Amino acid sequence: MNNNPETVSTDYDTSDGLFFEPITAEEVADVIEETGADGVMVQFGGQTSVNIGSSLEAELDRRGVDCTILGTSVDAMDLAEDRDRFNALLESCGIAQPEGGAARSEEEALELAHDIGYPVLVRPSYVLGGRAMRVVYSDEELQTYIEEAVRVSPEKPILIDRFLEDAVELDVDAVSDGENVLIGGIMEHVENAGVHSGDSACMIPPRSLGREINRRVREVVEDIARELSTVGLLNVQLAVQDGEVYVLEANPRASRTVPFVSKATGVPIAKLAAKVMADRSLPELDVTEHVPAQTSVKEVVLPFDRLPGSDPRLGPEMKSTGEIMGTAQSFGKAYDKAQDATDKPVPADGTAVVDLPVDGFEEYFDIVSFEETEAFEEAIREGEIDLIVSRDRDPLEVAVEESVTYFSTVPSAEAALEAIHAKEDDLDVMAVEERPTKEEYWGQPKNE
């Protein structure tokens, strides 16, 4: 069941029935009654489908329909969403989390920010995709944020957390059968904390984590999965700062990274999740984790060329509308292939403007600078600039218009340098196994 036909336009043969209906408790209950379904999965529809869990249970009960929400319980999903309950769970497990809380007035917000210490990450508690999320460095910035971005009220508090500067962010996708946990993949973000996880490039396997950090990340994810009695998929977002592993949030549902993890590792975690939700155990499925020898990079597709005037810089608010991946034996080559696929190829030479503290571009480019923004923009329009490394919004908007590759963060610029180094290497070619049939993939004929 899907309320957006375009997302399944190429998958018409995956299911026996496809319903284009709004994702509401009433509409889903209608389809359940019409089909006679005795189970429904809400984990694969993102936050929209998870949000109707409680109301769907109530609606089915009101109608007297015998249908179960399969997998992780609705209460466990609510626990992960409830800030106070989830924080208490982490505390009981001895899992570190950034200090923070909720404020229901400007006075509470200022007091909480003083207790935590600037910089702090502020965001509304009632939106998705990081909308209106911001890193704030002073009382004045916090007051301006409250006045311009959100309206604080007892019904709609804002969340304030300590901002982990220069931390390495991680995403982990896992499958649990309620007892056993399979780590599908640990992804390391290219961008530091402060860029929304949906907009940051990420890699499998991670490359900056030591053995102890990897072990702690696994331990944390397994503890959360078991405490939530997770049956199905679990996504955990973490940050590593000064050797400490912090949990930012956990979502007992499918995340946008599931397809990337499955393609990068060859472990079909969505299929495994569906089977454990249908009462199969992970040992029974006889599946093993796989850390690939090659590196895969997921990069995002940004819509700025379709949205003139929008801010092309990356930040806490998610802006991407798609993603691609590149795979190679080295990170630099994988990142280079990923950038090619986003139509933002990394040039190997030419003229560059480098306004961020990154060394190394002078080895490949003639570095120029401009005292006036207007002269900078004119040079871009005249085709005189091949690469831009800057946080200056106005020139970046012109770069989008003129299809000039740019990088607005230090980590992405450093990754671009690795991509340039890797251009000297030949493309590596590797054989892949023949794709299985659908019956082989699912382990049984589709209609059974």
209-249 pLDDT per residue, tens: 889 999 999 999 999 999 999 999 999 999 999 999 999 98
**Confidence at residue 288, expressed as pLDDT on a 0 to 100 scale:** 87
138-188: pLDDT as tens digits:
999 999 888 876 665 556 788 899 998 889 999 999 999 999 999 999 999
pLDDT at 448: 41
- Report the length, in residues, of the chain: 448
Residue-range domain boundaries for the chain: 5-70, 99-162, 300-422
Q: Report the pLDDT value the prediction gives residue 10, as an integer from 0 to 100.
A: 55
Average pLDDT over residues 97-107: 89
* Helix-then-strand count for the chain, H and E: 16, 17
Closest CA to 183 of 240, 259, 262, 243: 262
With beta carbons less than 8 A apart as the criterion, state whether 295 and 204 touch.
Answer: yes
Give me the pLDDT at residue 20, please: 87
What is the structure's pLDDT at 298? 96
Question: Which of 15-29, 68-82, 118-132, 284-298 shows the lowest per-residue confidence on average (mean pLDDT)?
Answer: 118-132
Percent above pLDDT 90 for the chain: 65
3-state SS, residue 232 = strand
Q: What's the pLDDT score for residue 381?
A: 96
User: Pairing mode, if any, of strands 181-192 and 202-204?
Assistant: antiparallel
Confidence of residue 129 (pLDDT cuts 50, 70, 90): very low
Q: pTM of the prediction?
A: 0.87
Out of 2.60.40, 3.40.50, 3.40.30, 3.30.70, which CATH number does the structure's domain 300-422 have?
3.40.50
Q: Which CATH number fits domain 5-70: 3.40.50.20, 3.40.50.850, 3.40.50.720, 3.40.350.10?
A: 3.40.50.20
Q: Are the C-beta atoms of 160 and 112 separated by less than 8 Å? A: yes
Q: Which of 91, 99, 96 is nearest to 117 (CA)?
A: 99
Listing DSSP states for 278-298 in one string gives TT--HHHHT------SSEEEE
Query: For 269-327, how does the pLDDT look when each residue is reduced to its tens digit (9 = 90+)?
Result: 999 999 999 999 999 998 888 888 899 999 998 887 777 777 888 877 788 888 999 99
DSSP string, 162-203: E--TTPEEEEEEEEEESS-EEEEEEEEEEEETTS-TTTS-EE
pLDDT at 447 over 50: no
List alpha helices for 203-330, DSSP H. 211-227, 258-265, 269-277, 282-285
- Rounded CA-CA distance 414/272 in Å is 37
| Confidence bin at 22 (pLDDT 50/70/90) | very high
The alpha helices in 342-402, defined as continuous H runs, are 373-381, 393-401
- Could you tell me the pLDDT band of residue 123, with boundaries at 50, 70 and 90? confident
- Reply yes or no on whether the pLDDT at 428 is more than 90: no
**In this structure, which topology does domain 99-162 adopt according to CATH?**
Dna Ligase; domain 1 (3.30.1490)
Higher-pLDDT residue of 123 and 65 is 65
Mean pLDDT, all residues of the chain = 88
pLDDT band at 446 (very low <50, low <70, confident <90, very high): very low
In this prediction, residue 432 carries a pLDDT of 63
Residue 198 has pLDDT above 90, yes or no: no
**Eight-state DSSP code of residue 372:** S
Question: What is the pLDDT averaged over residues 422-430?
Answer: 80
User: Which amino acid, one-letter code, is at 407?
Assistant: F
Q: How far is it, in rounded angstroms, from Cα 8 to Cα 10?
A: 5
Do the first three CATH levels of 5-70 and 300-422 match, i.e. the same topology?
A: yes
Q: At what angle do helices 410-422 and 331-341 cross, to 10 degrees?
A: 100
Supply 74's token pair: 């609705």
Give residue 154's pLDDT.
Answer: 59
Rounded distance between C-alpha atoms, residue 150 and residue 6, angstroms: 32
Q: Which residue has the tokens 């000297």?
A: 424
Cβ neighbours of 405 (radius 10 Å) = 19
Q: What is the mean pLDDT of residues 95-115?
A: 92
DSSP 2-41: BS-GGGGTT-TTTSS---B---SHHHHHHHHHHHT-SEE-
How does pLDDT run across 314-366, given as a tens digit for each residue?
Answer: 877 788 888 999 999 999 999 999 999 998 999 999 999 999 999 999 999 99
